[in-house]
């Protein structure tokens, strides 16, 4: 789940009848994508050519549309142990995006991803303005990323929440029924996010 807030949403809209166009212009261009499932096979057949074509298309779209921020919301890989070729496709794409006009890339882990695997190069990728949120941090404020423009000014923030596993939200107890588990899940989520971090609105 990714909640995105834009500091400057400068836009204008011409409300016209159906015979005229409605024109909208934004300060930032965001592209949201998810569920790549890189490395997934189809009836035992590898699909690397398809994934290569997809990444080529996505990179070309980012360049053509001059995307400022790319959001990838989970399931980057299909398994927790992706093949070397799948990893190569992923990291090659990250490098190409980092060299494009896209200033930030935010990646959150999905239920198919290995949090440990995605987090391993996190600090190195941060130098390329690639932000990886793969595990539940010790504080919700760590999920709040302040994204800055070329001048160093904050222009947007993202609250990047990875896939939350049951063990991260509640403690299982023997003998619980469905109602008990649902109640514990609600209470666990409330305990995690009951306060809105001050960072969320401090730069507006």
The string of DSSP codes covering 86-97 is HHHHHHHHHHHH
Query: Does residue 75 fall inside a structural domain?
Result: yes
Residue 120 covered by a domain? yes
- For residues 134-152, give the mean pLDDT: 75
Q: Mean pLDDT, the chain, as a whole number? A: 77
Calculate helix-pair angle for 84-98, 48-65, nearest 10 degrees: 10
CB 76 within 8 A of CB 113: yes
The beta strands (E) that lie in 27-134 are given as: 30-33, 69-73, 104-108, 130-133
pLDDT at 164: 72
Q: Is residue 38 part of a domain?
A: yes
Per-residue pLDDT at 188? 63
CA 179 to CA 38: how far, in whole Å? 36
Residue 203 located in a structural domain? no
Number of compact structural domains in the chain: 1
Predicted model pTM: 0.74
Beta bridge partners of 42: 45
Q: Which residue has the higher pLDDT, 183 or 8?
A: 183
Residue 141, domain CATH: 3.60.21.10
Cross-sheet strand order for the sheet of 144-148: 2-6, 154-160, 144-148
| In-domain check, residue 39 | yes
The boundaries of the domain holding residue 154 are 2-165
Burial class of residue 175 (count of CB atoms within 10 Å of its CB; 0-12, 13-18, 19+): exposed
Q: Which is higher by pLDDT, 189 or 145?
A: 145
Strand 154-160 relative to strand 104-108: parallel, antiparallel, unpaired? unpaired
Rounded Cα distance, 58 and 121, in Å:
22
Task: Identify the burial level of 51 via C-beta atoms within 10 angstroms of its C-beta, where 0-12 means exposed, 13-18 middle and 19 or more buried.
Answer: buried
Residue 170 within any structural domain of the chain:
no
194 lies in a domain?
A: no
Q: When comparing pLDDT for 81 and 191, which is higher?
A: 81
φ, ψ for residue 102, nearest 5 deg: -70, 120
Task: Write down the pLDDT at residue 4.
Answer: 46
Position 21 scores a pLDDT of: 44
Decide which of 136 and 130 is more confident.
Answer: 130
pLDDT tens column, 70-128 = 999 988 999 999 999 999 999 999 999 999 989 899 998 888 888 889 889 888 998 88
């Amino acid at each position: 789940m990714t909640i995105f807030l834009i500091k400057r949403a400068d836009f204008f809209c011409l409300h016209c009848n159906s015979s005229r166009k409605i024109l909208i212009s934004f300060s930032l261009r965001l592209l949201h994508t998810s569920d790549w499932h890189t490395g997934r096979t189809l009836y035992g057949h590898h699909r690397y050519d398809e994934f290569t074509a997809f990444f080529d298309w996505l990179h070309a779209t980012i360049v053509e549309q001059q995307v400022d921020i790319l959001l990838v919301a989970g399931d980057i890989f299909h398994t927790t142990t992706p093949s070397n070729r799948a990893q190569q496709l992923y990291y090659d794409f990250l490098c190409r995006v980092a060299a494009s006009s896209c200033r930030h890339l935010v990646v959150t882990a999905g239920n198919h991803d290995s949090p440990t695997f995605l987090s391993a190069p996190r600090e190195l990728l941060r130098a390329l303005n690639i932000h990886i949120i793969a595990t539940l941090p010790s504080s919700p404020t760590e999920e709040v990323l302040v994204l800055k423009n070329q001048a160093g000014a904050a222009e947007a923030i993202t609250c990047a929440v990875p896939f939350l596993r049951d063990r991260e939200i509640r403690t299982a107890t023997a003998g619980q029924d469905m109602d008990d588990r649902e109640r514990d899940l609600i209470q666990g989520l409330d305990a995690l996010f009951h306060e809105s971090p001050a960072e969320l609105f401090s730069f507006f």
